[in-house]
Chains A and B, each alone.
Chain A
Amino acid sequence: MRPSRTSYPLSWRLMDAVEAIAASVWPRSFSAAVPWLMLMPAAVLVGLLVLGLWDMADGSFRTLDTATFLPSDDYSLANYDRAFTEKLFFTVASRSLIGSLIVTAITLVFAFPYSYVMVRTRSAALRKFLLIALFLPFFIGQVVRAYGWLIILGSQGMVNEALGLVGVAPIRLLYNYPAVLFGLVQYMLPFAVLMLAPALTAIPEEMESAAGSLGANWVRTFIHVVLPLAKPGFIGAGLVVMTLSLTDFAIPAILGGGSQDFIANAIYDQFFRTSDQGMGATLALLLVAVGSIMVGVVFALFGAGTLAMGRSK
């Protein structure tokens, strides 16, 4: 009698065939090399990045020859000197740094209650709604979203129209620092929520009940139990939000209207407006350095949070 379909389903037979083909292409004796083979594509990508960085490092030591508009042949530290002394670059750098810190703080404050409710609610419908509300803006690109804010916040936008109805003169809501920060917070919120939610899921509800039975009201439960236990999530979310907003381009460009440039905008200008590739490369490398130092400081102070991988102790 033939074995019945249920005891050996078709999908198993297909897998058998695939395995047989795989075995003829990649004999079993090579199997130790399989993990390395799978690592190859990622290694190639990272390798290309390193190559690009090397090339930029080379470029950053060459100044722009204003006569020929070509990079100079000899190496000098002139670009770095300019980056550290010219007021424009200092303004842009401090604006981006302070901005990213403010955005991180505000985003974490907003993201925590959102993810807490999302994780703890007993209503599956509410959880789904919160998830969809979070992901929907994700599908709309950053640039489109920024233009959306132009429509809403512009001098003839919806907000000013509504204000006009109650007799308030139009307010300039766009092309200033708060507008950029607002746009960034709105853009970063989903990232922060998605990084916080797993950390909150990992806190057993029993912990909060226990704190309650031991005499802590909800505020003290939050301060003494939930917050310390959610620390890894805050660190992970904070790092992601901070690095992403420090290096953001589209939102400062569109909502800042050219007056609120972040470092990425300055780099863009150097590469594509003034065609000073050396200066652009210098700024780009400095941005990489500043970002890495900030991440390193956070790691050193608080540990790596949810970004710490491998086996836990």
Chain B
Amino acid sequence: MVFDGVHAVRDATFDLERGRFLTILGPSGSGKTTLLRMIAGFGRPTSGEVFINGLAVGSVPPHRRSIGMVFQKLALFPHMTAAENVAFPLRMRRFDARTIPDRVHRYLDLVKLGKLGDRRIHELSGGQQQRVAIARALVFEPDLLLLDEPLAALDRKLREEMQLEFRRIQRELDVTTINVTHDQREALVVSDEIIVMDHGRIQQKARPEATYRQPKNAFVANFIGVTNFIDGVVASVDGDLIAFERSGLAGRPGNGFRPAAGVSARGALRAEQIRIGGGRETLGDVDTVFGGTVTDAIFEGERVVYEVAVPDLGGTTLRVFDHDPVAHNQHDVGSTVALGWNVKDVLVFGD
């Protein structure tokens, strides 16, 4: 799809098995919403085709496709009650009028709104409105459910509750679902599969664990989780061990990366994989140790986030999560600490 000469989406070929929950994850402007709108039929791809159940639907208008969609701002009809909203697609799709009330009731029950069908939309809370929108998108048993970041506007607690609801309903009905979000946590929690998009291209398509543990490139590693990047020059490659010219730094190849010696590369290291302590003996079993100075310590409740400047890594600042379930001590800003991690947790990518 091209807007004003800019490709919003290109090379976005993927397939999705029936009954799976796929999340398209990406920063704003990555083309994920454009991709979703093309699937829904609101925009036609400049080239390429969308297939549903093996049938090309490129020239089928949205109202003839069997797709339920939950919109970013929900787009519930304010002049109708919750039940009328849910009945709307059944009326438009000419379902047998006698079966409509029963079916509406069943789907309101499914989203736990059984008693609120007579309420007008503005009489419902944000979470209840979400539930109406889900029921409305599912009541006509579409082949495909699309979620266009409907949770983005909710507060965190409600959002996490609704993520689990989406998951529950999707499993209960076994409906094929494509969800679009920029919330990596949501992607990890709800999905069977995650597609990470950037600049209109698919960066990686994998299960949530694989996306997190084996990112295919530096963008994915950076976008999901909190990742430190340590730049350096490759000194030697020995099997699955890539050693950097900086003494003591090494990692293993990310996505089969096989650099020659002398090539510049970057090591990606998750913040939770780094251990922090007052001295090297407190770190336990690690094979890489560097000393550093704490430049910031942020108390987040269940963990403390440290920023530590490491002179032996060219002054690189590393972010470190410390969950510290035992000692409840905190390193002050300015104090000298030891950082330790294992070589297997450093993934090396090309620049």
Are B79 and A214 touching (Cβ within 8 A)?
A: no
Main secondary structure of the interface of A (DSSP, over half): helix
Does A215 sit within 8 A of B, measured CB to CB? yes
A26-45 near B? 1/0 per residue, CB < 8 Å: 00000000000000000000
A215 contacts B61, C-beta separation under 8 Å: no
In the complex with contacts A214-B136, A215-B63, A215-B140, A209-B89 CB distance below 8 A: no
A212 to B92: give the CA distance in the assembly, Å: 9
A77 in contact (CB, < 8 A): no
Asked whether, in the complex, the Cβ of B63 is within 8 Å of the Cβ of A210, the reply is no
Instruction: Mark contacts of A200-213 with chain B using CB atoms, 8 A cut-off: 1 yes-contact digit, 0 otherwise.
Output: 00001011011111
Cβ of B40 within 8 Å of any chain A Cβ, yes or no, is: yes
A213 touches B61 (CB 8 A): no
What bracket does the count of chain B residues touching chain A fall in? 20 to 34
Chain B residues whose C-beta falls within 8 Å of the C-beta of A215 in the assembled complex: 63, 89, 92-93, 140
Residues of B contacting A216 with CB < 8 Å? 63, 88, 92
Assembly CA distance A228 to B78 (angstroms)? 10
Q: Does B77 reach chain A (CB closer than 8 Å)?
A: yes
Within the complex, the shortest CB–CB distance from B23 to chain A, in Å, comes to: 19
B68-107 interface code vs A (CB 8 A; 1 in, 0 out): 1101110111110000000011001100000000000000
A213 to B78, CA, bound (A): 17
Give min CB distance, A204 to chain B, whole Å. Answer: 6
| CB contact under 8 A between A212 and B71, given known A220-B92, A228-B79 | no
What's the Cα separation between A130 and B67 when bound, in Å? 36
Q: Is the CB of B71 within 8 A of A209?
A: yes
Contacts of B75 in A (CB 8 A): 204, 206-207, 209-210
25 contacts between A and B (CB under 8 A): A204-B73, A206-B71, A206-B72, A206-B73, A207-B75, A209-B40, A209-B69, A209-B71, A209-B75, A210-B71, A210-B75, A210-B77, A211-B92, A212-B41, A212-B61, A212-B62, A212-B63, A213-B62, A213-B63, A213-B69, A213-B137, A214-B93, A215-B63, A217-B63, A228-B79
A residues neighboring B (CB under 8 Å)? 204, 206-207, 209-217, 220, 224-225, 228-229, 313
20 additional A-B residue pairs with CB within 8 Å, beyond A206-B73, A210-B71, A214-B140: A204-B75, A206-B75, A209-B42, A209-B62, A209-B71, A210-B77, A211-B77, A211-B88, A212-B61, A213-B62, A213-B137, A214-B68, A214-B92, A214-B93, A214-B136, A214-B137, A215-B89, A215-B140, A217-B63, A224-B92
